Structure 1
Amino acid sequence: MVTKTADDELLFAGDPAERPVGKQSGHPPPWRVLIVDDDPDVHTTTTFALRGTEILGRAITFLHADSAAQARDILTNDRDIAVILLDVVMEEEDSGLKLVRIIREDFGMGETRIILRTGQPGYAPEMDAIRDYDINDYKTKSELTRNKLFTALTSAVRSYRQIRTINENRRGLDLIVRASGELLALSGIRNFAAGIITQMSALLGVMPEGLICVQRPPEIELAEDGTLVIAAAGRYASLINLPIDEIGNERVFNSLNRCLDEEHHIFEADSTTLFFGSRTHRNMAAYLDAPIDIDDSSRQLLEVFCTNISIGLENTLLFSQLHDYAYFDSLTGLPNRRSLINKLDERLLGGERGRYSLALIDLDGFAETNDALGHQYGDELLKAVAERIRSILGPQCTLARLSADTFAVLGQIELLLPANLQALFRDAFVIQEQELMIASTMGIAHLVDVDGNGAEALKDAYLALRRAKTHARGEYMFFTRDMATEIRERSKLMQALRVAIERQRLFLCYQPQISLVTGQVIGLEALLRWRAEDGRLIEPSRFIPIAEHSGMIVSIGDWVLRMSCFQQAELSRHGFKNLSMAINVSVGQFRHPRFLAALQGALADSGVDPRLIELEITESMAMEEADLLAKTLDSIKGLGVRIAIDDFGTGFSSLSYLQRLQVDRLKIDRAFVAEITHSERARRIPELVIQLGHKLGLTVLAEGVEEQEQADILLQLGCEDAQGFYYARPMEPQQLIDWLRAYPVCSPDGGAPNDA
């Protein structure tokens, strides 16, 4: 029996006390020690010395090799070795050292501890061997008494365990990072939950048999306390989408409920239930149909994994919410514009695009209803409209809400016939116990007529809707390829107009106005022209509406106003002092808050007599904007500027505005002048306009006079003034001056002609 001495004893803080093998709980696997030595006695004495001994609470089992070659064979197939007791000299003088290099480099066994033993202490330099060959200890065989052997082996095992734990933790963390990354790549809470089962089972080395439930998931409409199975695998796969109180397994139900109530993991003999918390209280619990036998280190890794999952859950819930915001309308729950475009892309890529159409439904007068009855009423109306369309057209159609009062329906052509769509609004809607009839205007596009993707299809349907709102409100219009061509041309023209403004391609021409009584020039009308880069003149009827629609008309109109005033002043300097200057003004200009300031600036900077400036507004503008114009026109009249109503007779639906607006002249539209020589009946409207003007104390000018006979008839009817190609075409300034020098000019007050 070996007697222990004080020198031989070495106690380690935290090491478990020795206890017989088989008494420990759970029977942890023994430490495996490989003895490599060509001396059989070394194997026998080492085994005998440590028989029945435990190190750090675990038994020891030995493997034996009589040579370096035999050790290589063992390690080729079995590398789960904690410590190798290695002789230096065996087949060759340095066989042990060569084996160390093979163990470390060829086999990659960096965790295994190596204790080099030699019976020839002076043979190998101790420091060099440890440094160069990654040896953990170096002992002579004579040193290794039982206690010293136990001490050296305990130190090596402790080092092995620490390194292995560190490496396992690192590998575990790598797995967690990779698993977490793969989970975060999954979209939607259901995919995320299904991924948890897969990743967690792989991480813990168990079969993917289990389920995951979530409390009040955001994308499922449940009761306040509802908890739903959102992912399941293995024999639990059929339970997906069930509330947990309906899964029919009391043991699983109790484990999940207890986990969610107590908010911590539950480790049982035959199962594991893990808790994943959420700051929004949408907690998850995962039930695995397998026990997990883990030590403290593994438990820490599991906690790290669960923490990562909880963070991922928060992100997934956030992403789900953002997804809902991005693809669904928050008021009605319907798909929104982006979602509809995705669906359109699917249909357009399919081979049946000829079977489908897209209808846009715009609620007429919704803004007024919303303002009059309140936003809550308007919201309820929108939800009622959505519900009626959805319930009548059914799930075979995709319904979306695109804007405040515009819905879209994508479906087969036979389902979206205009009559079917209009029938949706035949009955009143009952909102807050009130019946409300709603009309709608629709634009419909067949997908077979669409060139491009879903966004193009939606744009085409909008073209049809806008055309319907302009020309057939309360009805419908189908998209045609001509509409697309027209809008592209308008877009090109708009861009070209912007460039033309920058490059000063716009200019003014002036058309003389003639007194039918005296035949003399009494004034001019400034007319805007655009000469393209290739020298072509672009018709005002093409670019003026675009300028008005785009808002460019305000800056253009201010420029026309100033140029016309300066041109009148320039004519005065050439001796044509009493010619009036008529300037067309758009409704956009009148609405602009700085219009009066712009007019005053043009008058002041040019030095023109305000009485010689006449602003022309259209009849439609005067009728529709009478209240807006009344105050502005009063201010304009206060400056001494005259006012004329252009294109008079084209509206003629109301004359009350003439009593409210201070105007000086009516201009008969050229359409009536063109017909005046055809029949007595064609003269009636010009005659009525002339009589009306005289009754109101206004002068009357006829536009578009191209023949002597037209001028004669107008004079007979009492019209004072005229302009048109019969007298002169619009001219640029220098040409105008040359023309005026050859034509008699009189002042507006009937004075003598100017000498030119």
Structure 2
Amino acid sequence: MGLGEIVADGLEDEAGFAFEPESSSGPGQAGATSLALTVLTVDDDLEFQRSLKLALANFEFQSRPLNILSVGSARDAARLLAATPDVAVIVLDVVMETDDAGLRLVRSVREVLGNAEVRIILVTGEPGVAPMRQSLGALDISDYWLKTDLTFERLHGVLTSNLRTWEQIRALSQARKGLQTIVEASNCLARARSMDDFSHRVMIELSRLLGVEPEGLVCVHEYGIGADPRSARIVGAAGRLSYAISQDLGSLDHMPVRDMLLQALSKRCNIDGELSQVLFFQGAEQGPHAATYIATGRALDPTERELLHVFATSINSGLINVSLTSRLDRLAYEDSLLEIPNANALLRALQSVLEMPAPRNRTVLFIELDQYSASCLSLGMEQGDLMLRKMAARLRKVFPAPVMVARLHGDTFAILGQTALLHQNRVDELESLDLDDPQHSSFISVRAARVDLDIYVGSPRGVMAIGALLLRRAQLQKGAGVIDYQPVLEQEANQRFTRSRDLYRALHCREISIELQPQVNLQSGRIIGAEALARWTRSDGTRISPAEFIPMAEANGLIVLIGNQVQHMACQALQRLRQSGFTNIPIAVNVSPLQLARRNFLHELIEITQHYQVSPDMLEIEITETAAMADYEGNGQVLRSLRDAGFRIAIDDFGTGYSSLAHLRAMPATTLKIDRQFISEIGATAREHTIADMIIGLGKRLKMEVLAEGVESEMQTTWLREHACAQAQGFFFARPESIDGFLQRLARSA
């Protein structure tokens, strides 16, 4: 029986049911609430909420009851989860206040709250809203069920499985935090702090074991067997001996204590006293060894001595682990080349800062070298390593402790410190400071970005992701100084993510279409061709500008799929033109560098034309000048293969790139398209004709057709005609239109 049937059969008379308050407990159940596992149900369907409570009323997991919390919206759930981090399982509806409210809550839980432990079970009554395969692949969720499929048994099975998984993840998380504590205790260079923490734990655990006040000291002998035990260092002390920290054991002025410790280290054994005890920890064969003195104030009975023996054995392993973890700490948290903290160390430090209450007064400054890649390519990796070492030395000089300097990867560094210390002047100093030759400082250009942790909300990894994004922006905005983080940046990123997802959906829902913009012969006025332009019209009729979705598609790779669809639609349009009697009107399609770089591009294009029985010479391939020249050898070979197969080749936006005339002459292009910015200058500047006139002359000499783009006025048309430009397109002649509108225009023209 499904949960929907439970509602129908069991809740027809709503007044006939009253749920027991979750905080109450029967006889013999005192403390059950503290053992209860918390399950949160998020659904705006009250009937479904009640059916869930009824189905789980007597459910127990490993003899532990459930504490069921219920809210009716994703917004309320987010607030509750922020205040209640120990929720074990969320049963979450996909569609609530919005169609994707549940999916957005999942991202908020994982990315904003940083809760990777809670198990999320998606349920929906509208399966088409969030398909199972896509949702499971894109989001960190555990299960996805239709509400109608959740029977009693299935619900209990799913909940049991997820609670078991939650307990395992919780246990692993707690173990991981314990390991992190050990690593932090040993510190990155096995300095005194790691042994201090070790000694502190020894003193606390010993005093707790014996029921006495912490009174004693811990000394560590770093060297192997046979070394003088007097050189052992006192790393921890409590009570009357606290003054002795950091002394050598041989310098300790308390003779009875010193002698007992020297005897333990020399004989490598425990020493029993009437009012005190010394435990020896052998450690590894080559050190370190340790000995602990504790004042008991009384004689120990045989049971306590046996407990101390077990304790010493356990601590001996701990001492070895401290030594090992200090080495692991170097590997995990120190950059091996520069011997400074690495990305893991920064993440750990960021976690500590973000857990502080506001105002934190902390900022992360990201630094990236401009010349590193070029230096490595031209002079080799050794020169690149030398540059990194110099930069690390400069960073330590400009940003001394307690500011943290870390290398994230490659030539990217991060500096974490007080906000007032990480300003533009320090970056300027960093570029010019040279410790080796202060009189003749070598300049190192850097890009810089800054994230104020008092206005940032998110995870440590989010800080690093934002830093990388800001550095890319700094690369585009050369000379803009330090780029500062603004919260709107994440909103823009979320909008781009949402729009990118919508574009992916639009491709599969056939929301992408083409419009044809006529190309005319300037002498006769006849339409001699058309350019196919991609258009995105959403299901509600709203249109998204190509200036918005084409760059997005190029960034996320969807341009390949869009280009393929445009080629199919262009060939379909050629079919209709042929059927209507217009057999000599070619159509041009734009091809991105990503498409051109595909190994099977030519083969796929030929297959498309054969499928629609279109002659290759009726399909013109347009590639921008920049793309054509960026990889001249690779792209040139592909374009030659396209030309050999019969396709026309047009160089789009000509004049905006940096063409080599030698390369252009060898390029198998049939058409040069003058970029619209040079056409718009005609009549607007004193030397309006210079570049357009040069391109027209160049096209003639290279025996290519020349087409002017973006023609919008009679004056521009007249000028182009007088200067022997043969072809043009633009709003002056016609705006882009559907294939039906284009056919009507052709009929009128005929």
1:555 alignment partner in structure 2: 561
The aligned runs of 1:274-673 (5 Å cut-off) are 274-279=279-284, 281-289=287-295, 299-314=305-320, 328-331=334-337, 332-334=339-341, 336=343, 337-342=346-351, 344-345=353-354, 349-351=357-359, 353=361, 357-371=363-377, 373-375=379-381, 377-395=383-401, 397-428=403-434, 437-446=443-452, 450=456, 460-472=466-478, 475-480=481-486, 483-652=489-658, 654-673=660-679
Look up the match of 2:215: 209
Structure 1 window deviating more from structure 2 (618-627 vs 470-479): it is 470-479
Partner Cα distance (1:246, 1:553) in 2: 75
Distance 1:376 1:423 in 2: 25
Q: Give me the whole-angstrom Cα distance separating, in 2, the residues matched to 1:202 and 1:185.
A: 24
Deviation digits for residues 372-424 of structure 1 (CA, Å, limit 9, x no counterpart): 55555544543432232122232253333333221222445553332321221
Residues 284 and 641 (structure 1 numbering): CA distance in 2 closer, same or farther, change over 3 Å? farther
For the residue of structure 2 that corresponds to 1:229, the secondary structure is strand
1:230 to 216, 223, 235: 235
Residue 245 of structure 2 corresponds to: 240
Residue pair 2:629, 2:658 contacting (<8 A) in 1 also? no
Kept in 2, the 8 Å contact 1:583–1:613? The answer is yes
Contact 1:192 1:316 (8 Å CA) reproduced: yes
The separation in 1 between residues aligned to 2:716 and 2:422, in whole angstroms, is 54
Q: Is the 8 A contact 1:622 1:657 kept in 2?
A: no
Look up the match of 2:100: none
Give the CA deviation at 1:531. 1.2
* Aligned-residue offset at 1:539: 0.9
- Cα shift readout 1:672-723 (whole Å, capped 9, x = no counterpart): 2223233552122111110111111111101112233322211111111111
* Cα RMSD (Å): 3.6
CA distance 1:702–1:197, shift in 2 (3 Å): same
SS state at 1:682 partner: coil
- In structure 2, the CA distance between the partners of 1:352 and 1:289, relative to structure 1 (3 Å rule), is closer
SS in structure 2 of the partner of residue 741 of structure 1:
helix
720, 724, 732: which is aligned to 2:726?
A: 720
* 2:117 alignment partner in structure 1: none
Structure 2 length-normalised TM: 0.66
AA paired with 1:440? V
Answer whether contact 1:629 1:661 (CA < 8 A) is retained: no
1:580·1:612 contact (CA, 8 Å) conserved in 2?
yes
Deviation at 1:667, TM superposition (A): 0.5
Q: Alignment partner of 1:424: what SS?
A: helix
Q: Is the 8 A contact 1:524 1:581 kept in 2?
A: yes
Amino acid paired to 1:310 = N
Aligned-partner SS, 2:431 = coil
Q: Which amino acid aligns with 2:551?
A: P
Q: 1:184 to 1:520 in 2, by over 3 A?
A: closer
Q: 1:469 to 1:253 in 2, by over 3 A?
A: farther
CA distance in 2, matches of 1:303, 1:341: 41
Kept after mapping to 1: 8 A contact 2:673/2:706? yes
Closer, same or farther: CA 517–186 of 1 in aligned 2, 3 Å: closer
Distance 1:201 1:344, change over 3 A: closer
Could you tell me the percent identity over the aligned residues?
A: 33
Contact 2:234 2:247 in 1 (8 A): yes
The whole-number CA distance in structure 1 between the counterparts of 2:342 and 2:585 is 63
Q: Is the 8 A contact 1:364 1:474 kept in 2?
A: no
Secondary structure, aligned partner of 1:464: helix
Give how far 1:528 is off.
0.9
For 1:194, what is the secondary structure of its paired residue?
helix
Question: Aligned letter for 1:633?
Answer: L
Is the contact between residue 255 and residue 273 of structure 1 (CA under 8 Å) also seen in structure 2? yes
Any idea what SS the aligned residue of 2:688 has?
A: helix
Q: Note closer, same or farther for the CA distance 1:318–1:742 as it changes in structure 2 (3 Å cut).
A: farther
Are 1:675 and 2:684 counterparts?
Answer: no
**Secondary structure class of the residue paired with 2:528:** strand
Decide whether the 8 Å contact of 1:612 with 1:641 is kept in 2.
yes
Task: Identify the range of structure 1 (602-611 vs 447-456) with the bigger mean alpha-carbon deviation.
Answer: 447-456
Instruction: Report how far residue 472 of structure 1 moved.
Output: 0.6
Change (3 A) 1:232 1:584: same
C-alpha distance 497-321 of structure 1, shift in aligned 2 (>3 A): farther
Shift of 1:264: 3.2
TM-score (norm 1): 0.65
Larger Rg: 1
2:471 counterpart SS class: helix
Verify the 8 A CA contact 2:654 2:673 in the aligned structure 1.
yes
8 Å contact 1:278–1:310 — kept in the other structure? Answer: yes
C-alpha separation in 1, matches of 2:382 and 2:267: 42
Q: Match of 1:536, as an amino acid?
A: T
Whether the 8 Å CA contact 2:403–2:418 is kept in 1: the answer is: yes
Contact 1:327-1:339 within 8 A present in 2 as well = no
> For each residue in 1:576-620, what CA deviation from the matched residue of structure 2 results, as whole angstroms up to 9, or x when unmatched?
222222111111222233323332332333332122222111122
Shift of 1:624: 2.4
**AA partner of residue 341 (structure 2):** L
Q: Contact (CA 8 Å) 2:276, 2:296: kept in 1 or not?
A: yes
The answer (yes or no) to whether the contact 2:277–2:296 under 8 Å persists in 1 is yes
| Partner Cα separation in structure 1 for residue 267 and residue 649 of structure 2 | 84
Residue correspondence of structure 1 range 688-699 to structure 2 within 5 A: 688-699=694-705
Matched, 1:264 2:269: yes
Q: Per the alignment, in what secondary structure is the counterpart of residue 742 of structure 1?
A: helix
Counterpart mapping for 1:117-266 below 5 A = 187=182, 188-189=185-186, 190-204=196-210, 207-216=213-222, 228-245=233-250, 247=252, 252=257, 255-256=260-261, 259-260=264-265, 262-266=267-271
Residue identity matched to 2:625 = E
Shift of 1:427: 4.1
Q: What is the Cα deviation at residue 476 of structure 1?
A: 3.5
**Secondary structure of 1:617's match?**
strand
- Matched residues in 2 for 1:344 and 1:198: separation? 28
| Cα distance, 1:440 vs structure 2 | 0.7
**What residue number does 1:151 align with?**
none
Quote the offset at 1:282 in angstroms: 3.8
Structure 2 gap ranges (5+): 1-174, 187-195, 224-229
Return the offset for 1:542.
0.8
What one-letter code is carried by the residue in structure 2 that aligns with 1:416? L
* Matched residue count: 552
Whether 1:273 aligns to 2:282 is no
Stretch of structure 1 that moved more, 255-264 or 663-672: 255-264
